[in-house]
Structure 1
Amino acid sequence: MTPRLDNPSALFPAGFEAMVALEQALAQAIDPELLELVKLRASQINGCAFCIYMHTTDLRKRGVDEMKLYLLNAWRDSYLFSKRERAALAWTEALTRVADDGAPDDEYIALAEQFSEKERVQLTFAIGAINVWNRLQVGFHVAHPPRGAAMHADAA
């Protein structure tokens, strides 16, 4: 894959700085493991290799069970995910695929059973943000770094 631009962030620094500020706010608002699972699941759906690499790496650094990472694509059929994680992942899938089914009431009801109103807003912002990052990386053909390479902490 050939990158379409050398450094997209340099061409619109204010946009990238705003996204980084949003990421910093989300990192303070949402449980880090849950946030990374949501980011990884959306990135899987969107086919963003850069973001899949980043969030898998971040979850491993957090000590998340490897089997949980392997089963994220099939979370509905795995007992490794809590009710809270299931509600967040279902909402992530619904909003990431919003053109397919909208935001189904049953997914929102399940979300409301596990998260406060404030948490639902925060989680929805997180899902929106990762979808923006995915579209930037996929759209500009940003490749993931070589295996074992460090990632920039504020990207995607």
Structure 2
Amino acid sequence: MARIDALSPTTRRPLTRLTFAMAKRRFAGKVPEPMLVAARHPQIYRSYLGMEMGLDKASQVDDKLKELAAIKAAAMTGCEFCIDIGSWFGTQHGITEAQLLDLPRYAESPHFDELERLVLDLAVGMTRTPVDVSDALIEQLRVHLTDEQLIELTGSIAVEQYRARFNWALGIGSQEFTEGAVCARPETVPAAATVNGSRVPAPTAP
């Protein structure tokens, strides 16, 4: 249960009611709990919606890549809500059950291609504290992506950091989007290592 009471889904605020109705259509009849909590603060809620809508409209990077990176970041931060909804949403964009299960060992898994591994490297590096993203990794990504695509991908991972840490701090847990289906697992985060042109090692699953 969240540490702050959520706003009632039957609120009379016009914009909030509209966004709740839109969310129900998109998320299997559910209003995501982070929306219900954030909506208690109208200014923060509008900012949150703007960020999410902008990211949703950005379309230069394959949705599968962005979702894969978001799930990895969520798993590393341990956000139960994000892992749950991300796994559910990710499978709708082509992420396979094998990929969800192999996220902790993506560097060695045969279920990821070169670009997917590099995208996951970026998610790992951005989720570390301190952030650990090398020039070499960015140059490897540039072989596959334009600068605009790199901006979109990096922004997508950064927004996931916001989601995960907001939810984690306020005790927002799983909403059971993946009930009965395969879901990614939380991962432990080892201390950041220096990257010298090689891929960032995958964290060890608990």
Residue 40 of structure 1 and its aligned partner are, at CA, apart by 0.3
Offset, 1:44? 0.4
Separation of aligned partners in 2, 1:148 and 1:94: 27
Q: CA 1:71 to 1:26, structure 2 compared with 1: closer, same or farther past 3 Å?
A: same
Cα distance between partner residues in 1 of 2:125 and 2:76? 11
- In the alignment, what sits opposite 1:123? 153
1:20 aligns with 2:49: yes
How far, CA to CA, are the matches of 1:63 and 1:82 in structure 2?
13
CA 1:82–1:20 in structure 2 vs 1: closer, same or farther (change >3 Å)? farther
CA contact under 8 A between 2:84 and 2:178: conserved in structure 1?
Answer: no
| Deviation for aligned residue 1:118 | 0.5
Please state if 1:46 is matched with 2:45. Answer: no
Structure 1: stretches of 5+ with no match in the other structure? 150-156
Q: Against the structure 1 CA distance between its residues 146 and 117, is the aligned structure 2 distance closer, same or farther, given a 3 Å change threshold?
A: closer
The separation in 1 between residues aligned to 2:135 and 2:82, in whole angstroms, is 29
Aligned counterpart in structure 1 of residue 165 of structure 2, from 135, 144, 148: 135
How far did 1:73 drift? Answer: 1.7
1:81 aligns with 2:81: no
Counterpart of 1:37 in structure 2: which amino acid?
L
Tell me the equivalent position of 1:111: 141
Q: Which moved more, 1:125-134 or 1:52-61?
A: 52-61
Higher share of residues assigned helix: 1
1:35-64 per-position Cα deviation (integer Å, ceiling 9, x unaligned): 111110000000001000001011223453
Q: Deviations over 1:91-141 (max 9, x none)?
A: 111111141x53222222222222110011111111110000001100000
Residues 87 and 178 of structure 2 are in contact (CA less than 8 Å); yes or no, is this contact kept in structure 1?
Answer: no
Q: Quick one: structure 1 residues 145 and 107, their matched pair in 2 at CA, closer, same or farther if it must change by over 3 Å?
A: same
Distance 2:106 2:155 in 1: 22
Shift of 1:148: 5.5
Structure 2: state its 5+ residue gaps. 7-36, 180-206
1:96 equivalenced with 2:95 (yes/no): no
Taking only aligned residues, the RMSD between alpha carbons, in angstroms, comes to 1.9
Matched positions, count: 147
Partner of 1:154: none
- TM-score with structure 2 setting the length: 0.65
% identical aligned pairs: 22
d(CA) in 2 for partners of 1:110, 1:12: 41
